[in-house]
Amino acid sequence: MNSQIRRVGLGLSVCFLVLFAQLNWLQVFGASRLETHATNTRAIVRDFGRPRGTIATADGVIIARSIEVESSLGRERQYPEGDLYAHTTGAFTFNFGATGVEKIYNELLAGQTDEQKYGDLSALLEDGDTTGNLTLTLRDDVQRVAREALGDRNGSVVALDPRDGSILAMWSYPSYDPNTVATVDLAAASTSWDTLRSQDPTAPDLAKAYRQTFPPGSTFKPVTAAAALSNDIADANSPSFPASSGYTAPLTTSTIGNFGGSTCGGDIAEGIRISCNTIFAELGAEYVGPVLMREQAENFGFNEAPPIDLTASVASVFPEDFGAHLRPSDKNPDISIVENTPALAQASIGQFEVRASPLQMALVAAAITNGGIIMEPHVLSEVRNVKGEQIEEYKPSVWKSAMVTSVAEAMRQMLLTTATNGTAVGLQVPGFEVGGKTGTAETFSTTNDTHAWIIGFGGPVGEASTVAIAVMVEAFPGGGQQTGGGTAAPIAQAVLAAALQPLTAQLGEG
């Protein structure tokens, strides 16, 4: 019996050692993954009743603040602008955690970073208020224009400064009022939350501007063009594609037509100006090929979530695989005709399985006007303590190098022409240098309803652009052929015009 008893002891010891190992994983090695998990509301609950800094726009409008209330929770987080900034600030809720800026900069707002807690010894001794007040890069004047211009059409507007990645405006309709879920009336908050969740996956608290992707349609053509230019396969003026009303890719009999059944042809610059499908379908499928197309798309940031300082931004998609090599292309022997070349032709005009978030398309415009460089998009400008001293400043950094400067400059010229004498003329802002590219994306629904897109940029004549923009208006049943030039351009034009005006500080409310 004794040898069995010893083995029981050995067995139990092994069991407890395994417990110890798992405990180490939970408490030490895997702890940070758990602590930052989206559903982990511990830090939020801890901070709920404590003082919390304000969030303000670049022009001084307070968009989130904490007010002491008569409730066991102590304080309530309020959003004076209602739905206007909901997708950026997110909501700071008791039961459902936090999203957006409230989540990402929670420690700074709550005054819980080590620097805030221990940086100022006097505050430590006085048990002082260490909270941080955030200033965002968003401009209230531009944001309001975006909301007004889009109206009650489902869609998104993203405007940013291509030079440093600052988001100037970001609006999606529908939005929601974060006060309804942040209220200290927890029963009401729960009801509101359940209502939102019952509408998933299209609930209005989904920040579509950076959290949903759509087929980008013709706004993707600059990516295809850049792929050709970057790899010396073509330049803006050669080759010239014959005029055609339809392109039939190798291995298929079905034809890609032009918008409205028109006939068009010419060089790449002409193709961009009039948004000629047949040119880019052929260019992508038979000149550039799947490998270089994907490489260029990824250089623009596709297949990777933009590192914006908000929660759960999504990656835009360029398909990874178009099948195996079949034979060299007749047009460019260096590249392959592959099994799925017909799909590649579709992908080259932003259809097939290509998907882009409005933020990603704004970054494409930014890259074109910023010498090929994409800065990390961000909403934080700076943080100040309660005494008004700056304790943190956002430092811009490069995210992607999409193209070499010469290619970017060539692309920029094409988009400038498109806005002066092409499909994007609706984007013009008098007195400024404006470029753009429209898009009309098919949705693969049974109807002909289309998404309307436009991307663009603008700035003082002869100088670097100060604004890059993307607007998309979603297809809706019975909406028919909404075009980028007709539907999206006026919205983008209004927002661009507002964003090009210099920043004027408003009187803060708080």
Partner 1 sequence: MRRTTELSLLFVAVVVIVSTYVLASLGREAEIPANIFPFLGIIVALLIGAHIAVRRLAPMADGVLLPIAGLLNGVGYVFIARLDEDLAANQAMWTAIGVAAFVATLVVVDKVRLLDSYRYTFMVIGIILLLLPLLPGLGQTINGSRIWVSAGPFNFQPGEFAKIALAIFFAAYLVEHREVLAMSTYRLGPLHLPEPKHLGPLLLAWGASVLVMTAEKDLGSSLLFFVLFVTMLWIATERGSYLVVSSLLFMGGATLAWMRFEHVQDRVDSWIDPWADASGSGYQVIQASFSLANGGVTGTGPGLGRPDLIPEVETDFIFAAVGEELGLFGATAILVAFMLIIGAGLRIALTATQPFEKLLAAGITTLLGVQAFIIIGGVIRLLPLTGVTLPFVSYGGSSLLSNYILLALLLRISHESTARQMAPAKSGPRAKADA
Q: Would you tell me which residues interact with partner 1 (CB under 8 A)?
A: 1-6, 8-9, 12-13, 15-16, 18-20, 22-24, 26-28, 30-32, 34-35, 37, 39-42, 45-46
HSE-CB of 499 using CA atoms within 13 angstroms: 34
Q: Is 478 helix (H, G, I), strand (E, B) or coil?
A: coil
Comparing CA positions, the residue from 439, 473, 469 lying closest to residue 223 is 439
Q: Backbone phi, then psi, for 39, in 5-degree steps?
A: -90, 5
- Directed axis angle between helix 289-299 and helix 221-230, to 10°? 110
Instruction: Measure the CA–CA gap between 270 and 256, rounded to whole angstroms.
Output: 18
The residue type found at 449 is D
Residue 79 sits at the vertex; the CA angle it makes with 74 and 84, to the nearest 5 degrees, is: 165
Comparing CA positions, the residue from 168, 110, 163, 156 lying closest to residue 455 is 156
Residue 9 or 431: the one with the smaller Cβ distance to partner 1 is 9
In the complex, the smallest distance separating the C-beta of residue 99 from partner 1, rounded to whole angstroms, is 15
Residue 48 or 287: the one with the smaller Cβ distance to partner 1 is 48
Tokens of 41: 């509301």
In the complex, the smallest distance separating the C-beta of residue 22 from partner 1, rounded to whole angstroms, is 5
Residues of 366-389 as b/e, b for ≥16 C-beta within 10 angstroms?
bbbbbbbbbbbbbbbbbbbbeeee
In the complex, the smallest distance separating the C-beta of residue 180 from partner 1, rounded to whole angstroms, is 19
Residue 2 or 238: the one with the smaller Cβ distance to partner 1 is 2
Tokens of 124: 């430590």
Instruction: Give the DSSP H or E segment for 295.
Output: helix 289-299
Comparing CA positions, the residue from 273, 272, 276, 292 lying closest to residue 284 is 292
Query: Beta partners for 68?
Result: 75
In the complex, the smallest distance separating the C-beta of residue 128 from partner 1, rounded to whole angstroms, is 17
HSE-CB of 144 using CA atoms within 13 angstroms: 8
Comparing CA positions, the residue from 478, 364, 501 lying closest to residue 429 is 501
Comparing CA positions, the residue from 263, 266, 252 lying closest to residue 352 is 252
Among 218, 230, 313, 381, the one annotated catalytic: 218
Are the CB atoms for 365 and 459 separated by under 8 Å?
A: no
Known catalytic membership, residue 218: yes
Comparing CA positions, the residue from 26, 34, 33 lying closest to residue 18 is 26
In the complex, the smallest distance separating the C-beta of residue 20 from partner 1, rounded to whole angstroms, is 6
Residue 201 or 260: the one with the smaller Cβ distance to partner 1 is 201
Residue 127 or 232: the one with the smaller Cβ distance to partner 1 is 127
By annotation, the residues acting in catalysis are 218
